[in-house]
Amino acid sequence: MRWENYTSLPEQYRNQRVFDGCGISGFINIDGSRVSGDKVIDMISILKERENGLGAGFAAYGIYPKYKDYYAFHFLFDTIAAKTNTLHYLGNNGTIIASEAIPTNTPTNIDNPPIIWRAFFDPKKSNNLEPDEIILKIVMEINANINNAFVMSSGKDMGVFKGNGWSHEIADFYMISGYNAYMWLAHSRFPTNTPGWWGGAHPFNLLNCSVIHNGEITSYGTNQRYLSSYGYKCTLFTDTEVIAYLFDLLCRKHKLPLSIATMALAPPLYDEIEKLDKKDQIILKSIRATYRSAMLNGPFSIVVGYSNPVPTMIGLTDRKKLRPLVAAISDDENTIYMSSEEASFKRLTSSNNNFSMKEIWHPKSGTATIAMLGKGLVRNGLEPSLMKLKSKYEGGLVNGNCA
Amino acid sequence: MAIVHEILNYFKVEINREQCKKCKRCVNHCSYGVLSFNGEKIVSDDQKCVACQRCAVMCPGNAIRIVQNESFLPPHGNYTRKIRNIIWAQSGDGGVLLAATGNDRPIRSIFDDLLLDACQVTNPSIDPLREKIETKIFFGRRPEKLTFVSDQDDLEGVSLKTKLMPNFEMDMPIMVGHMSLGSISYNACHAIYKAAKELNIVAGTGEGGLHPDFFEYAPNIITEVASGRFGVDLNYLHNAAALEIKIGQGAKPGHGGHLPGEKVSSLISQTRMIPKGSDALSPYPHHDIYSIEDLAQLIAALKEATRYKVPVGVKIAAVHNSAPIAVGIVRGGADFLTLDGFRGGTGAAPRIIRNHAGIPIELAIAAVDERLRQEGLRDQVTLIAGGSIRYSADLIKAIALGADIGMCAMPVLIAMGCRVCQQCFRGLCSWGIATQQKYLVKRLDVDIAKNRIKNLFHSWNEELKEVLGAMGIDSVESLRSNRDRLRYIGPNPHIAEILGVKHAGE
Ligand code: SF4
Ligand code: SF4
């Protein structure tokens, strides 16, 4: 573990985008049953080739049932003052229901460990802003303007635990085994150009959306400038930040159904669209025309945890599938797994004789795999874009070549 | 009163007497009256030569070379030969000097100071010959967002409620800039429209109206409504993929169109609905647009007249305040916005304006794209940029700075045979392009010219794909405004700041 660079990068590395290769793993229990973090630790730590000890993290959904109606902030602080300032700022904007240190296994010989804190929060009512919108503003404010403070996560009944070290070290440090969640995401990193910093590790979170990501977004400039129109400041210089904001914009603000949002991020090729019937062409062309700047380009595979309103795990790769993603379903069909490598699943089945996968498959390039709490596998990542969707349009393109 | 002052000619016609067969072909082909046969040999009046190269190309004996006049004026670094010539010309005829094509001052091109990024290791590049790279784009206005309603009982039921405004598809992010029938010939227009149709891109008509013969190309034509309203009637409005209100042109911001009477033949007189031989001078402003609300009204009127079936946009010259003007135009209802930089071409413009007014398109794109974003409007409109996009590198950089579509005209003329002699306003173009003289027009073979334009843009599009592939991008939509993939290497870092581009090495 590296006991430095908690809430920001050293000066000379700032304003540089981080490029890295990564391991990603996650699963969701469809019936909502909560299980310990052990399983996801096994899944991620076996992917050792994809990490170099410079960052790892976990997102856990369903860990705070007692406070499930409040926003759970996970913070990193460098100093006591930063903590005081942040909590003071929070207090001015709503009610802090509970505030406590997140338990960690900090080695005794470390002089300057980070302060890792959580607060359950109820924002002040506002006539013109939704509560989520207030939280978004608070997160942006703390990360941009309160020195030595960083918000790791801000969703309800969930939390992100991350830092600079090997995945097994981060798991030990946060005692991940001790949490019980119905959905787990885990990430390990291989950054190329920075020493890494705690806040810059994945998962990257905003509200109830957490993203783990392997890859590099070649459309970063386009996406970042698009988001700037909507007040998202991309200050962390990671591609993952952009992906999380795009999910937030498309799903929460524009209220696109998840399956449609994933089509905006990785749309089918025009050649494929031309083969569809007129109705589907109109829908897909409307998506491509309207969301041309939201499209993600470059090699990526991501797994996204989302819980607004229904907890969902989404896997998606770029349209050429230049980074890997595999999916699996357990024998009892209650758990859907995703990982950058099949090794994650093998690790689970080989260490437990009573457990096997019903099926392991490779989702298609640019095609979302979506697993929803209570619903199961809604999309398996193999269907053509609009297949299984009962799509209709009332509006649609006018005068487009297909209308 | 004209007091002609002999000006040292720039060019000389050199005829190799041994190779000359005295066939007199060159005499016939020279539309500027340079060459004649004196009974014994071909002689040239070099004073009139414009170096259009027609004679040299047509000579069967390969006997002609156009060379620079070596005769030397006393050198002066400030009073260059060009400046002295301007003074002599003006003291000779006392008028405003006309010029054609684009700004010819050797001002540094910002495009040339920009470098492109490419992938190495952490992101794989894409080979366009093996993998799909998309260059298709939509032209028109988009909503800010789409509204889908999901069926609550059935999660998989989704219904699209948003009706998009008129939009059409183009196979490449390229448009042929506005050149009117009048400034260029019937055959040149025909070749351009045919090429646009076969490439599935669009071409502008300029402000010269649309000849009924060309109505069949309407789906690939953007017609222009300019201050002179030449040729504007319902037929004209209804025969277009999009309508553009021309406020300004890069070569002559603040000026109206300018078609010398020499070029107003009977064909032009019919299409423009003006008397034959009269100068067609568009008023400088639209006399029904003195402010932004007036423009909004004209946009609304044109949309109404076309029953909201085609995008209606506005073209402005890139000037100092383009960014706020652009915001006003988009707020005023424009579906697309065309920006024309100070190097943009023209068939005729006062030299003083052509050479000294306006700003570089690179800066205008950057400023307009940025300001529209601040206002949350950028993604809703199509931004077209031209003046001057010379080759694919400029096109690619214009898109990366923030344009949806690159617009160009000069390269199209050059592809058809133009030698950039800059005499278009005289109506004597020996290549049959910028002329209305029947014997000259027929020199331009429509199908050959069309194929050359097609080849040109096909190659640009292939080069665009090569660059996208090298950048690891598989759709041109992810290049637009992706300034992250540009770096600056010019002498003035402040330019990089305005462009929102980092310096190379950063
Ligand atoms: S075209 Fe060539 S060969 Fe014929 S007269 Fe002219 S210079 Fe001589
Ligand atoms: S179009 Fe003709 S007149 Fe104009 S520059 Fe080109 S060759 Fe010369």
Indicate whether A22 pLDDT > 90: no
Interhelix angle A343-350/A38-45, rounded to 10 degrees, is: 130
Interhelix angle B186-199/B446-470, rounded to 10 degrees, is: 40
Which of the ligands is closest to the CA of residue B185? Answer: 2
What is the C-alpha to C-alpha distance for residues A194 and B138, in angstroms, rounded to an integer? Answer: 39
Q: What's the full length of chain B, in residues? A: 506
Both structure tokens of A253: 């603000």
What is the C-alpha to C-alpha distance for residues B459 and B438, in angstroms, rounded to an integer? Answer: 32
What is the C-alpha to C-alpha distance for residues A66 and B397, in angstroms, rounded to an integer? Answer: 55
Both structure tokens of B188: 């040149």
Question: Mind listing the domains of chain A with CATH numbers?
Answer: 4-63+165-388 (3.60.20.10), 67-156 (3.30.70)
Specify the residue for token string 């034959």.
B276
Nearest Cα to Cα of residue B192 among B177, B208, B209, B170: B177
In the prediction, which pLDDT does A199 show? 86
Q: Does A163 touch chain B (CB under 8 A)?
A: no
Indicate whether A236 pLDDT > 80: no
In the prediction, which pLDDT does A400 show? 45
Three-class SS of A156-168: ECEEEEEECCCHH
Ligand 2 centroid to residue A76 C-alpha, Å: 68
Nearest Cα to Cα of residue B133 among A207, A86, A297, A256: A297
Instruction: For residue B162, give the amino acid letter.
Output: T
Instruction: Give B77 or A53, the one with higher predicted confidence.
Output: B77
Q: What is the pLDDT of residues A271-318, one digit of tens each?
A: 999 998 888 899 999 999 999 999 999 999 999 999 878 999 999 999
Mean per-residue pLDDT, B57-75: 92
Instruction: Quote the minimal CA–CA distance from B376 to chain A in Å.
Output: 5
In the prediction, which pLDDT does A402 show? 36
Q: How far is CA B264 from the centre of its chain?
A: 22
Specify the residue for token string 């041994």.
B18
What is the C-alpha to C-alpha distance for residues B194 and A327, in angstroms, rounded to an integer? Answer: 51
Binding site membership of B242 for ligand 1 (Cβ less than 6 Å): no
Ligand 2 centroid to residue B50 C-alpha, Å: 10
Nearest Cα to Cα of residue B343 among B335, B327, B355: B355
Binding site membership of B65 for ligand 1 (Cβ less than 6 Å): no
Q: What's the full length of chain A, in residues? A: 403
Residues of B in contact with A391 (CB under 8 A): 157-160
Dihedral sign, Cα of residue A335, residue A338, residue A343, residue A344 = negative
φ, ψ dihedrals at A82, nearest 5°: -60, -40
In the prediction, which pLDDT does A403 show? 35
Percent of chain A with pLDDT over 70: 94
What is the C-alpha to C-alpha distance for residues A326 and A359, in angstroms, rounded to an integer? Answer: 11
Instruction: For residue B223, give the amino acid letter.
Output: T
Instruction: Give A51 or B472, the one with higher predicted confidence.
Output: B472
φ, ψ dihedrals at B468, nearest 5°: -60, -45
In the prediction, which pLDDT does A397 show? 59
Q: How many CB atoms lie within 10 A of CB B289?
A: 17
Q: How many CB atoms lie within 10 A of CB B465?
A: 23
Angle at B334 between CA B328 and CA B338, to 5 degrees: 90
Query: Does residue B101 come out as left (phi exceeding 0), alpha (psi in the -120 to 50 range) or beta?
Result: left
Q: What is the pLDDT of residues A149-196, one digit of tens each?
A: 999 999 999 999 999 989 999 999 999 999 999 999 999 988 765 667
Q: Which of B121, B138, B148 is opposite residue A289, by nearest beta carbon? A: B138
Both structure tokens of A171: 């798991």
Q: Does A297 touch chain B (CB under 8 A)?
A: yes
Query: Is B58 buried (19+), middle (13-18) or exposed (0-12) by CB count in 10 A?
Result: middle
Mean per-residue pLDDT, B476-500: 96
Q: What is the pLDDT of residues B183-202, one digit of tens each?
A: 999 999 999 999 999 999 99
Q: A-B interface: how many C-beta pairs under 8 angstroms?
A: 186
Residue contact B376–A230, C-beta within 8 A: yes
In the prediction, which pLDDT does A20 show? 65
**Number of Cα atoms under 13 Å in the Cβ half of residue A168:** 7
In the prediction, which pLDDT does B154 show? 58
Which of the ligands is closest to the CA of residue B434? Answer: 2
pLDDT band at A395 (very low <50, low <70, confident <90, very high): low
A22 is catalytic: yes
Q: Which of A283, A299, A388 is opposite residue B124, by nearest beta carbon? A: A299
Q: What is the pLDDT of residues B154-166, one digit of tens each?
A: 556 788 888 888 9
Specify the residue for token string 């759709």.
B475
Q: What is the pLDDT of residues B276-291, one digit of tens each?
A: 888 888 888 888 888 8
The answer to whether the bond into A356 is cis (omega within 30° of 0) is no
Q: What is the pLDDT of residues B323-375, one digit of tens each?
A: 999 999 999 999 999 999 999 988 888 899 999 999 999 999 999 999 999 99
Question: Mind listing the domains of chain B with CATH numbers?
Answer: 11-95 (3.30.70.20), 170-483 (3.20.20.70)
Indicate whether B306 pLDDT > 80: yes
Instruction: Quote the minimal CA–CA distance from B70 to chain A in Å.
Output: 51
Indicate whether A401 pLDDT > 50: no
What is the C-alpha to C-alpha distance for residues B218 and B168, in angstroms, rounded to an integer? Answer: 13
Query: Over chain B, what is the mean pLDDT?
Result: 92
Angle at A374 between CA B145 and CA B154, to 5 degrees: 50
- The mean-pLDDT minimum among A7-16, A120-129, A169-178, B301-310 falls in A7-16
pLDDT band at A389 (very low <50, low <70, confident <90, very high): confident
Q: How far is CA B27 from the centre of its chain?
A: 32
pLDDT band at A398 (very low <50, low <70, confident <90, very high): low
Nearest Cα to Cα of residue B190 among B437, B447, B499: B447
Segment 219-238 of chain A within 8 Å of chain B by CB: 219-222, 224-226, 228-230
Distances (CA, A) of B90 to A174, A232, B424: 83, 57, 20
Both structure tokens of A374: 């209570």
In the prediction, which pLDDT does A280 show? 87
Specify the residue for token string 């950057």.
B366
In the prediction, which pLDDT does B234 show? 86
**Number of Cα atoms under 13 Å in the Cβ half of residue B28:** 8
Q: Do A147 and A82 meet the contact criterion of CB atoms below 8 Å apart?
A: yes
pLDDT band at A17 (very low <50, low <70, confident <90, very high): low
Q: How far is CA A24 from the centre of its chain?
A: 11
Mean per-residue pLDDT, B419-423: 93
Q: What is the helix (H) or strand (E) element at residue A364, kind and residue range?
A: none
Ligand 1 centroid to residue B439 C-alpha, Å: 19
Q: Do B26 and B55 meet the contact criterion of CB atoms below 8 Å apart?
A: yes
pLDDT band at B78 (very low <50, low <70, confident <90, very high): very high
Instruction: Give B502 or A194, the one with higher predicted confidence.
Output: B502
Nearest Cα to Cα of residue B104 among B251, B322, B264: B251
What is the C-alpha to C-alpha distance for residues B41 and B15, in angstroms, rounded to an integer? Answer: 10
Question: How does DSSP assign B258-287, residue by residue?
Answer: EE-GGG--HHHHHHHTS-TT--EE--SS-T
Indicate whether B417 pLDDT > 80: yes
pLDDT band at A12 (very low <50, low <70, confident <90, very high): low
Indicate whether B377 pLDDT > 50: yes
pLDDT band at A118 (very low <50, low <70, confident <90, very high): very high
Q: What is the DSSP letter of A142?
A: H
